[in-house]
Amino acid sequence: MIYRPYGKTGKHVSVIGMGGMRFRKEDYATDDWSRAIAVVHRAHELGVNYFDTAPGYCDDTSEKIFGEAFKSMSRDSFYVSTKCGLWNARTAKEARKMIDQSLRRLGVDHIDFYNMWSVKTLEDYREYLKKGGVLEGAREAQKEGLISHICFTTHLRGEEIAQVANDGIFEGVTLGYNAINFAYRQKGIDACHEANLGIVTMNPLGGGIIPAHPEYFSFLKQGDDSLAVSALKFILSQNKATLAIPGFSTVEEVEENVLAADNLKEAPEELLDELAKHLTSELNSLCTTCAYCDSCPQDIPIPQLLDSYNMLILSNGDEKQMFTRMKNHWGVDPSWATKCIACGKCERLCTQKLPIIKRLAEISGYLGRQTPAR
């Protein structure tokens, strides 16, 4: 396993961490959690020392599973990351309750990385920072030694991530970063790297889109590596990302993913340029979330809606998947699509030359036919 410094914290983390959102239901639905715990232990055995969880994951059992697994792991051999969302707490007092709950469930006396969870907009960011808000609660707990580092997780676009990174409040960021959206996130990654934040990349397989569509993503495949391992290597070989945290369900998945960290070499700029070219030519019907179009006079969040529309293409027309992505991943209201006045500005700017107006009209059409996920 390769270890990299996590920003300025002085901690060294494994380049593969474990995301704790994919334990299998059958492995935690009864009192017998031994298979889920075995996944954590196998990851630890193979050198993984960064474990990421959150209240709510896996029907609210993920933190508790880790708590059971940690009982037989020496506390100085791993780091744990967990989170508090605005839907969990709005005040310092409520945040403190969440922190105490996580400490109790995890069975630890301190949390290494505590995240302001899912900053989707700059309004969310300001809400976390407000006087008497969640950040204040986390800082008080930090003074008492209950939290080591305060970080954030985000779906903001690159420029906005840069703004938050440059404010210097957080020591690390967790963000979705993969072969589909890397162009959209690159500015943010660059700014976080510049500001010396730890950079945790989640969703390295694009929410399963990449392995589920091998024909689309075959250009990522390197040698004998599976597509999943190649996609992970793509992220990790860029030295700006500190680590990737795929979600593990089975011991076999742990073993396969850890392989990605073997023989990891830094990707030459030319290879990344080459891959970027594939993303803008071969995948020509997909939005790459590059955000070049993102200056709509109607303030329509075009990259977010068009990224969600990708799901419609990749799932052969299952609009539920598209609406789920709008809601759960981006937090955008699909009715934005109805506000398009067809001025054409975005289509002139689109790097993929996508028929944005037509796609927005299609989304609006679906809204007319059914009640979208909200």
Q: Between 222 and 315, whose beta carbon lies closer to ligand SF4?
A: 315
Q: Between 168 and 297, whose beta carbon lies closer to ligand SF4?
A: 297
Inter-helix orientation angle 92-106/134-143, to 10°: 50
CA distances from 258 to 15, 56, 228, 231 (A): 9, 26, 11, 13
Q: Which residues bind ligand SF4 (CB under 6 A)?
A: 287-293, 296-298, 300, 302-303, 306, 340-346, 349-352, 354, 356-357, 360
The least distance separating ligand SF4 from the CB of residue 289, rounded to whole angstroms, comes to 5
b/e per residue, 35-51, with b = 16+ CB within 10 A?
ebbbbbbbbbebebbbb
Q: Between 10 and 297, whose beta carbon lies closer to ligand SF4?
A: 297
Report the SS3 class of residue 308: helix
Q: Give the up-direction half-sphere exposure of residue 122: CA atoms within 13 A in the CB hemisphere.
A: 10
* Closest listed residue to residue 229, CA positions, set 193, 183, 179: 179
Q: CA-based Rg of the chain, rounded to a whole angstrom?
A: 20
The least distance separating ligand SF4 from the CB of residue 227, rounded to whole angstroms, comes to 22
The least distance separating ligand SF4 from the CB of residue 344, rounded to whole angstroms, comes to 5
Cα angle at 362 between 357 and 366, to 5 degrees? Answer: 150
Q: Between 154 and 352, whose beta carbon lies closer to ligand SF4?
A: 352
Q: Between 127 and 362, whose beta carbon lies closer to ligand SF4?
A: 362
The least distance separating ligand SF4 from the CB of residue 113, rounded to whole angstroms, comes to 30
Residues for the chain: how many in total?
374
Q: How many Å apart are CA 207 and CA 145, to the nearest integer? A: 35
The least distance separating ligand SF4 from the CB of residue 361, rounded to whole angstroms, comes to 10
Q: Between 164 and 305, whose beta carbon lies closer to ligand SF4?
A: 305
Q: What string of DSSP letters covers 169-210? A: --SEEEEE--TTTHHHHHHHHHHHHHTT-EEEEE-TTTTTHH
The least distance separating ligand SF4 from the CB of residue 370, rounded to whole angstroms, comes to 22
CA distances from 117 to 16, 194, 286, 324 (A): 21, 22, 28, 19
The least distance separating ligand SF4 from the CB of residue 202, rounded to whole angstroms, comes to 20
Q: Between 152 and 336, whose beta carbon lies closer to ligand SF4?
A: 336
